[in-house]
Amino acid sequence: MNKKYEVRLEPKERERIEQLLHADSTSPGIRRRCLVLLLSDENQGAIPKQAEIAQRSGVSDVTVYYTVKDYSTRGLEETLCYRRRAEPARPSPITGEVEARIIALACSEPPKGYARWTIRLLTRRVIELNILESVGRETIRTTLKKQNLSLT
């Protein structure tokens, strides 16, 4: 059966992998990728099966496949570093001022007919008071949790 992707490390690439493998600052994920590439190197002779490489390097079969594929299609440096997101993560709608207003609201007296504030009640009130245009319960909950506030 023909292999779709092959790893043939050149001496400089092998040396770079060895350096990363033994560096203290290398993350465990990158270290495992280095092991996969070293074990998959066809210049070293017969290579083990994919399942054996996965077991020896402590990753899944799929990780072995994608590491070899990345090396073949993108090169060594792209394989041995984490990819950047195409778009940055969406910033939180909670700024310092908004957070302060939510906390002040949570610390105030609950509305008439209620014994205490609930997350749902706070969420509705934040929208009613135009503190935020729209907000989810989880956002309010994490904001309060970050400040170690309990609604009980």
CA pseudo-torsion sign 31, 34, 40, 45: negative
Above 80 in pLDDT, residue 2? Answer: no
Res 131 pLDDT > 50: yes
Residue 94's contacts (CB-CB under 8 Å, 6 or more residues apart) are 102, 132, 139, 143
Mean pLDDT computed over every residue of the chain: 90
pLDDT (tens digit per residue) in 75-93? 999 998 888 888 888 888 8
Instruction: Quote the percentage of the chain above a pLDDT of 90.
Output: 67
Task: Note if the pTM is more than 0.75.
Answer: no
Angle in degrees, 0-180, between the axes of helices 96-107 and 137-146, rounded to the nearest 10 = 90
Q: Residue 54 and residue 143: Cα distance in Å, rounded?
A: 41
Mean pLDDT on 33-44: 91
Query: Residues near 144 by Cβ (< 8 Å), separated by ≥ 6?
Result: 102, 103, 106, 119, 122, 150, 151
State the pLDDT at residue 81. 87
pLDDT reported for residue 43: 84
Question: How far apart are alpha carbons 75 and 71 in whole angstroms?
Answer: 5
pLDDT at residue 87, rounded to an integer: 83
Please report the pLDDT score of residue 105 as a whole number: 93
- Mean per-residue pLDDT, 99-119: 93
DSSP secondary structure letter of residue 48: P
- For 65, the token pair is 């496949």
- Please, which pLDDT band fits residue 65 given cuts at 50, 70 and 90? very high
Q: Domain map of the chain by residue range?
A: 11-79, 96-146
